[in-house]
Amino acid sequence: MSTASDSKASPVTATDRSIELIDAAAQAAADKLAHDIVAYDVSDVLAITDAFLLASAPNDRQVKAIVDEIEERLLKEKGAKPARREGERDGRWVLLDFIDVVVHVQHSEERVFYALERLWKDCPELDLPEDAKATRGKDREHAVREAAAAGDDGGEGGGPASGSGTGEGPADGRGAYEPASERGGSDGAR
Counting Cβ atoms within 10 Å, is residue 102 exposed (0-12), middle (13-18) or buried (19+)? buried
Task: Give the global pTM.
Answer: 0.71
Is a pLDDT exceeding 60 seen at residue 10? yes
Pairing of strands 51-57, 101-107: parallel
Mean pLDDT for the stretch of residues 160-180: 36
Percent of the chain with pLDDT over 90: 60
For residues 40 and 52, is the Cβ–Cβ distance under 8 A? yes
Integer Cα distance of 164 and 46 in angstroms: 36
Residue 50 near residue 32 (C-beta atoms within 8 A): no
What is the per-residue pLDDT across 25-83, written as a single tens digit (0 to 9) for each? 999 999 999 999 999 999 999 999 999 999 999 999 999 999 999 999 999 999 999 99
pLDDT digits (tens, 9 = 90+) for 173-188: 333 323 333 334 444 4
User: At residue 116, does pLDDT exceed 60?
Assistant: yes
pLDDT given for residue 155 in this prediction: 46
pLDDT at residue 16 tops 70: yes
Q: Which fold has domain 16-136?
A: Beta Polymerase; domain 2 (3.30.460)
Which tops the pLDDT comparison, 95 or 174? 95
User: With b meaning 16 or more CB within 10 Å and e meaning fewer, what string describes 135-161?
Assistant: beebbeebbebbbebeeeeeeeeeebb
Confidence tier at 101 by pLDDT (50, 70, 90):
very high
| Radius of gyration of the CA atoms of the chain, in A | 18
Show me where the domains of the chain are located: 16-136
CB 185 within 8 A of CB 150: yes
Confidence band for 140, pLDDT divided at 50, 70 and 90 = confident
